[in-house]
Amino acid sequence: MKRLIAALLLVAAPVFAVTPEEILDDPALEARAREISKELRCLVCRNENIDESNAELAADLRVLVRERLVEGDSDGEVIDYVVGRYGEYVLLKPTTTGANLLLWIAGPVMLLIAGGVGFVYIRGRRTAPDAASEGLSTEEEARLKDLLKE
Amino acid sequence: MIVELGHFALVLAALVAIVQMIVPLIGASRRWPGWMAVAEPAAILQFLLVSFSFGALTYAFVTSDFSVRLVVMNSNKFMPMLYKISGVWGNHEGSMLLWVLILALFGGCAAFFGSNLRDTLRARVLAVQASISVAFYGFILFTSNPFLRVATPPMNGEDLNPLLQDPGLAFHPPFLYLGYVGLSMAFSFAIAALLEGRVDAAWGRWVRPWTLAAWLFLTIGIGLGSWWAYYELGWGGFWFWDPVENASFMPWLLAAALLHSAIVVEKREALKSWTILLAIMAFGFSLIGTFLVRSGVITSVHAFANDPERGVFILMILAVFMGGALTLYAARASAMEAKGVFAMISRETALVTNNILLAVAAFVVFVGTIWPLVAEMMLGRKLSVGAPFFDAAFTPFMIALTAILPIGAMLPWKRGNLTRTMQPLWGALALAIAGGALVLVMQTGMSMLAPIGFTLAAWVTMGALIDLWSRTGRGDLSSKLRRLRSLPGADWGKATAHTGLAITLFGIAGLTAWESEDIRVAKLGDRFEHAGYEIELRDVREIPGPNYVSTMASMAVFRNGKEVSVLHPEKRVYPVAQMPTTEAGIDNGFWRDIYLVIGDEQSDGGWAVRTYIKPFANWIWAGCIIMGFGGVFSLTDRRYRVAAGARKRRAAAAAGVPAE
């Protein structure tokens, strides 16, 4: 319960996420920092990015991101640097490496399957279905043949 | 004493539910009218007993009876009455009691309105509904009893979680549960139909209002939750793709798919087995949602009940009901032979496409939600799946859905002609694209979000209006207007709900693309400019509330030197719960919200202040409300009342004929 309250405290603490003193003077660099921050998870929070989080760790990460940017890192380099330190848990947008590929292609593959099944079904509905329900079974057909022969 | 009676009533309700689960089911399979007839009085008695039980718990909260453990942990003498009442369901045990109350309410409604159903179908529906109740009574009585007492009652309670002390969130759970549990009716109807071995147009007509009602409540519940997040969490986010939000969003998507496919069953007697499967899955996802929220298996802001024992119990309920339902489905679904024939280009095809897009979209949300769990258990990778993934993976489905919506909505049943259907729509399409291009030219930056959002919203809205207008037939304006008024509720509901969807989508696109923010330190009396507005920090003072202390700022907003409004953003501290919250100061507007947040006092005497301009924010929730109205209009359609009586006569005539 204590851990829970602590977590809720982090969520709700009415201090700012990004505080005035964190903001970089260069607006272009600051804009990049904001975009990067939205892709990084606040590690101690529940499903919050560091841009929105009020936790101290998130503030540290925001400062870290800005430091790297000021030193001239590209966006990708900054993210790699943070992932190197904290692991892929920090990424809100998972990579496409290894089994994660499944996550990314699950939707498109499912859409193809569903589309295919749907197409076959719809094509099947073009013909009168009564033929199927009222159609003859193989035994009946055999009997019919016999009868017709007679 | 009343609390003990409530507990007793709950046990009795569970016993009644057991009877209601078994006796009518046997009666239906043996065709014993007396046994089948047990279902209705049992359903109503069960509802009365749970109501009493829920009333008893509410009484304990209202009178602040601190000898009850749940009241101690979730209430406080000084809380306003609204939150004392909402505290009943603002916790795990109470919310599960609300869950069974609503379950019994739906069962009672089915018994009450169900007189025109086939006797066997009614008995089976009520029995299946009771079996769900039995599972949840067991869950409450064995793992989450709300009526436990404490040995030494304290003088005061520990307060309700302050985040929940808010009017938006007070009503969020009841609406959400009405939606979740409403889908249990669709589930019960699906299982009963499988047991009967018969699905016909009448079945589709019966399932649809329940689904519609559930979808309508889910829409409002999700809207309320999102609105709450917007003004309460302090930065104006409205959707986080949090597991708990996804838990409510997946049933919403499937319910939307179901209420479209049920139309095909009703009008064309096709898509039967798919509709049954959807009905099963929609409720299945409600159960999965309950599992995700209640077990805390995927940690999130909302998971305030971390208890593995409960998680395992709900997982068992989920396994039994989904496993049983899907096995039954596998055994019986092939018997549901479709009757209607239709061409490749037809309304049926359009609705199948709608269903594919909605169901796969729900699947994407599902995979994204459970992926961290799968990755950790199977692969040993600890990773996150957050908003950027869902934005990228989910949005294309909504774009495709809205792009084809107006065409599909106007295609005729059975056999259509694209050229003819598009004829009245070309103008709307051209206008929508031109509008989107204009938005692209006028906005700063090259983000495609707003232009696409605008184009699709305009396309869907105009399409809905053209569809409605085309329903009025030929003739002069006055006769067309007269016919417009007397169009069936379903037509109005369709146009209204689609327009609501368009408005919500446009609100989301506009807000996301165009919001602007300003973060600074302001001293008292400072005036600063942001996005054409001037904002003055006038005053900050401490104000005591009923059960909190507030730091309230007074900030004036000017436009062109004229005062627009004075806002009072607050931060509150709840001393009992030891928790702070933010209350943003919001000036709601048609075109934009001005959203002010007051932060901490700085060492130099200034205050940290955040200013947001949020364009079209209110369109998001206005759209939800309009979608809700669409559902209401559709529910008022005559055919649900008139045709019901006709079916009763037919059913009476066909009595004694064995199921197909």
8 Å CB contact of B610 and A106: no
Q: Do the Cβ atoms of B162 and B548 come closer than 8 Å?
A: yes
Distance from CA of A147 to the nearest CA of B (A): 29
- A63 belongs to a structural domain: yes
* For chain A, counts of helices (H) and of strands (E): 7, 0
**Is A95 a domain residue?**
no
Q: Is residue B462 part of a domain?
A: no
Q: What is the pLDDT of residue B167?
A: 84
In a domain, B253, yes or no: no
Task: Tell which of B200, B345, B352 to mutate to test the A interface (max A CBs under 10 Å).
Answer: B352
pLDDT of amino acid B420: 87
Do B513 and B447 contact (CB within 8 A), yes or no? yes
Whether B388 and A92 lie within 8 Å, measured CB to CB: yes
Any domain includes A22: yes
Considering only CB atoms, B367 lies closest to which of A14, A39, A106, namely A106
Rounded Cα distance between B254 and B520, Å, is: 44
B306 to B299, B363, B607: CA distances (angstroms): 9, 26, 37
Domain boundary among B114, B130, B165: B165
Are both A44 and A26 inside the same structural domain? Answer: yes
Do A119 and B415 touch, CB atoms closer than 8 A? no
Final residue of a structural domain among A47, A62, A90:
A90
Q: Which of B106-110, B232-236, B240-244 is predicted with the least confidence, judged by mean pLDDT?
A: B232-236
| B484 is a domain residue | no
CA B384 to CA B300: how far, in whole Å? 12
Determine whether B565 is exposed, middle or buried from the number of CB atoms within 10 Å of its CB (0-12, 13-18, 19+): middle
Number of domains forming the structure of chain B: 2
- B383 has a chain A CB within 8 A of its CB: yes
Say whether both A46 and A78 belong to one domain.
yes
Q: pLDDT band for position B306 (50/70/90)?
A: low
- Rounded CA separation B542/B540 (Å): 7
| Pairwise CB contact (< 8 Å): A125 & B270 | yes
What is the pLDDT, as a whole number, of residue A133?
Answer: 47
Q: In residues, how long is chain A?
A: 150
Residue B401 in any domain: the answer is no
The whole-number pLDDT of residue B312 equals 82
Rounded Cα–Cα distance for residues B354 and B370 (Å)? 24
- The pLDDT confidence band at residue B520, using thresholds 50, 70 and 90, is confident
Residue A85 belongs to some domain of the structure? yes
Is A59 part of any domain?
yes
Chain A contact present for B159, CB below 8 A: no
- Judge if A62 and A110 occupy the same domain: no
Q: Cβ(B232)–Cβ(B168) under 8 Å?
A: yes
Whether B266 has a pLDDT exceeding 90, the answer reads: no
Name the β-bridge partners of B581. Answer: B572
Q: What is the mean pLDDT of residues B645-659?
A: 43
Per-window interface: B 171-200 vs A, CB < 8 A: none
Q: Residue B116 falls within a domain, yes or no?
A: yes
For B495, the token pair is 């146009």
| pLDDT tens readout for residues B350-362 | 999 999 999 999 9
Nearest residue on chain B to A104, alpha-carbon basis: B393
CA nearest A132 in B: which residue? B337
Q: How far apart are CA B556 and CA B563, in angstroms?
A: 7
The single residue listed with the structure tokens 């505080």 is: A19
The residues of chain A scoring below 70 in pLDDT are: 1-16, 128-140, 150
User: What pLDDT is recorded for position A135?
Assistant: 53
The C-alpha atoms of residue B113 and residue B489 are separated, in whole angstroms, by 20
pLDDT of residue B488: 87
| Six token digits for residue B171 | 């009503």
pLDDT, residue A16, reads 57
Distance CA B508, CA B455 (A): 13
- Residues in CB range of B111: below 8 A, 6 or more apart: B39, B40, B41, B43, B44, B122, B126
Q: In chain B, what residues touch A9 (CB-CB under 8 Å)?
A: 578-580
For B13, the token pair is: 């309700």
Interchain pair B599, A14: CB under 8 A: yes
| Beta bridge pairs of residue B555 | B537, B567
Report if residue B6 sits inside a domain: yes
Residue B100 CA to residue B134 CA, distance in Å, equals: 9
**Chain B hits for A15, Cβ within 8 Å:** 599-600, 608
Q: Is residue A39 part of a domain?
A: yes
Minimal CA separation from B363 to chain A, in Å: 7
The CATH number for A18's domain is 1.10.8.640
Q: CB distance A12–B580 less than 8 Å?
A: yes
Cβ-contact B333, A117 below 8 angstroms: no
Q: Does residue B101 belong to the interface with chain A, where contact is any CB pair within 8 Å?
A: no
Tell me the average pLDDT of chain B: 88
Q: How far is A88 from chain B (nearest CA, A)?
A: 6
Q: Is B605 left (phi over 0), alpha (psi -120 to 50) or beta?
A: left
Residues 555-614 of B with CB under 8 A from A: 571-572, 577-582, 597, 599-600, 608, 610
Mean pLDDT for the stretch of residues B560-572: 90
Q: Is residue A32 domain-resident?
A: yes
- What predicted TM-score, i.e. pTM, was given to this entire model? 0.89
A8 and A82 share a domain? yes
Closest of B540, B537, B542 to residue B521, by C-alpha? B537
Domain end, chosen from B165, B196, B221, is at B165
Is the pLDDT confidence value at B339 over 80? no
Mean pLDDT of B391-407: 94
Domain enclosing residue A65, as ranges = 2-90
Chain B, window 251-280: residues with a beta carbon less than 8 angstroms from a chain A beta carbon: 270
B303 to chain A: closest CA residue = A4
Rounded Cα distance between B236 and B51, Å, is: 37
DSSP class of residue B558?
E
My answer on whether A76 and A19 are in the same domain is: yes
The first and second tokens of residue A116, run together, are 């295919």
pLDDT above 90: percentage of residues in chain B: 49
Residue A17 sits in the same domain as residue A72: yes
Range of the domain at B571: 516-618
CATH code, domain with B118: 1.20.120
Q: Closest Cα of chain B to A76: distance in Å? A: 16
Query: A68 and A20 share a domain?
Result: yes
DSSP state of A40: B
Q: Do B388 and A127 touch (CB under 8 A)?
A: no
Q: How many domains does chain A have?
A: 2
Find chain B residues with C-beta within 8 A of A8's C-beta.
Answer: 161, 163, 301, 579
B368 touches chain A (CB under 8 A): yes
Q: Which of B385, B515, B548 to mutate to test the interface with A (most CBs of A within 10 A)?
A: B385
The pLDDT tens digits of the residues spanning B576-607 come to 777 788 888 999 989 999 999 988 888 888 88
Nearest CA in chain B to A114: B356
Q: Measured between beta carbons, which residues in chain B are less than 8 angstroms from residue A133? A: 337
The domain boundary, picked from A90, A118, A137, lies at: A90
**What are the percentages of helix, strand and coil residues in chain B, rounded to 5?**
65, 10, 25
B45 has pLDDT over 90: yes
Alpha helices in B31-62 (DSSP H): 33-36, 39-62
Q: What is the mean pLDDT of residues B42-62?
A: 95
For the segment B267-296, the average pLDDT, to the nearest whole number, is: 87
B600/A133 touch (CB, cutoff 8 Å), yes or no: no
Residue A16 and residue A84 share a domain: yes
What confidence score (pLDDT) does residue B648 get? 46
Rg (CA), chain A: 30
Query: Is residue A50, in this structure, part of any structural domain at all?
Result: yes
Choose the closest CB to B343 out of A110, A115, A126: A126
Q: Do A67 and A112 reside in the same domain of the chain?
A: no
HSE at residue B225, side-chain half, CA atoms within 13 A, is 24
Asked whether the beta carbons of B436 and B509 are under 8 A apart, the reply is no
* Cβ count within 10 A of residue B8: 15
Question: In this predicted structure, which of B20-29, B191-200, B438-447 has the lowest mean pLDDT?
Answer: B438-447
A41 and A17 within one domain:
yes
Q: How far is A23 from chain B (nearest CA, A)?
A: 9
Q: What is the pLDDT of residue B300?
A: 45
Of B301, B337, B386, the CB nearest to A92: B386
**Which of B375, B385, B579 shows the shortest C-beta gap to A12?**
B579
Q: What is the mean pLDDT of residues B529-558?
A: 90
Answer yes or no: do B608 and A16 touch at CB < 8 A. yes
Q: What is the mean pLDDT of residues B210-220?
A: 94
Residues A120 and A78 in one domain: no
Q: How far is A27 from chain B (nearest CA, A)?
A: 12
Q: Is B163 on the interface with A (CB under 8 A)?
A: yes
B240 close contact with A: CB closer than 8 A: yes
Whether residue B197 is contained in a domain is answered as: no
Note whether residue B644 is domain-resident: no
In three-state form (DSSP H/G/I as H, E/B as E, the rest C), the secondary structure along B562-617 is: EEEEEECCEEEEECCCCEEEEECEEECCCCEEEEEEEEEECCCCCEEEEEEEEECH
Q: Which residue has the higher pLDDT, B387 or B114?
A: B387
Q: Is the pLDDT of residue B496 over 80?
A: yes
Is the pLDDT at B192 greater than 90? The verdict is yes
Chosen domain end from A47, A71, A90: A90
* Residue B297 pLDDT: 64
Distance CA B557, CA B593 (A): 12
Q: List the structure tokens of B501.
A: 């969807």
Tell me which residue in B356, B367, B578 faces A118 most closely, judged by beta carbons: B356
